Amino acid sequence: MDTAPQAQQEQEHAELSVRQKVSPVGDISHTGFSLAAIKIQSGSQDELELILSSKIDRAHGAYRNAAVVLNVEDVANLNDLDFFALQEQCRRHDLFLLGVTGVVNEDRAAALVRRRIPVVNSNRYARIREENLKPKIITQFLEVKVPVPVEVPYEVKVPYEVKVPAPLKVVRRNIRSGETVTGQNSSIAIYGSLGSHARVIASHHIFVFGNVNRADLFAGAPKDNSDPGLTDAIIHIQGNLNPGILAIAGNYRTAEDLDKDPGLTQIRMQQRGIVVTLEQANLRYFAAPDFALS
């Protein structure tokens, strides 16, 4: 009896069992990265060269070998965008161009995907794009004439405008490492210091009259996916500023970003307190005494 085919089958079965027992190395996970976004209008190489020469090259190496994306929100015709030429152009300025952001509808996204241009949307643009996919409800009002007179309500004008200020949550102690303090629909004032990995989340402003040591501060925080957040919110730190994350209305900078900012480094050295504001999706920093004069 020929046992060769049977032996070959047994060997193949043994190899298959070994392959099934071996677990793959590595994994896929979702995480957040901090990327600088360069906003362009026309998408031409001349425009990008002007931006890189005036903004990047004069930053004294602060963006050297940094990963960036192009914000194409204002670019009218994406078919004229020569992404790979722009990618080579960024590399000549010591930047790594990863993709484009600011894409909020499917037609523009499909046009980019067809040309193998990666879309790297931030949370804000991804949320807008997702909202655009949802069915829209159109409400139409019809005027109906009735045969009997209907009393019409009238408007009573108040001689002055009444403004209700946002409430203030006051915390008179140090915030422990890993502790979270929230202020829904309010500002937060902390008379103490913040430990590492502590989180302060406020719908309005944040004031810390102490030191910030690797804590995360979120001012003007959006209440839900439909809320853009309070862009006029400020963060005031009177002591030493050494945060993990600073964010206003969902626009954030990590500790690594802050350490690379030469303007912020100079303000830190003055030790006069720091005020952080938001201007066109970028965080701005002021020495506290100079903020009132800005």
Q: What is the pTM of this model?
A: 0.46
**For the chain, percent of residues with pLDDT exceeding 90:** 44
Cβ–Cβ < 8 Å for 191, 174: no
Residues 173-176: contacts with CB under 8 Å, at least 24 apart: 174/210, 175/200, 175/215
Per-residue model confidence as pLDDT tens digits over 156-213 = 565 555 555 668 999 999 999 999 999 988 999 999 999 999 999 999 999 999 999 9
Res 159: pLDDT: 58
Say which residue, 77 or 139, is predicted with more confidence.
Answer: 77
Res 70: pLDDT: 93
CA–CA separation, 108 vs 111, rounded Å? 5
Per-residue model confidence as pLDDT tens digits over 126-159 = 888 777 777 766 677 777 666 666 566 666 565 5
Cβ–Cβ < 8 Å for 233, 204: yes
Angle at 265 (CA atoms; ends 269, 262), nearest 5 degrees: 145
C-alpha pair distances (Å), 220 with each of 67, 116, 205, 223, 246 = 27, 36, 6, 9, 11
Would you state the structure tokens that stand for residue 177, as one six-digit string?
């490492």
pLDDT above 80: residue 259: yes
Query: pLDDT class for 270, splitting at 50, 70, 90?
Result: confident
Question: What average pLDDT does the structure give for the chain?
Answer: 84
For 209-246, give the DSSP string.
Answer: SS-EES-EEEES--SSTT----TT--EEE-S-EE-SEE
* Helix pair 106-114, 123-133: axis angle to 10 deg: 110
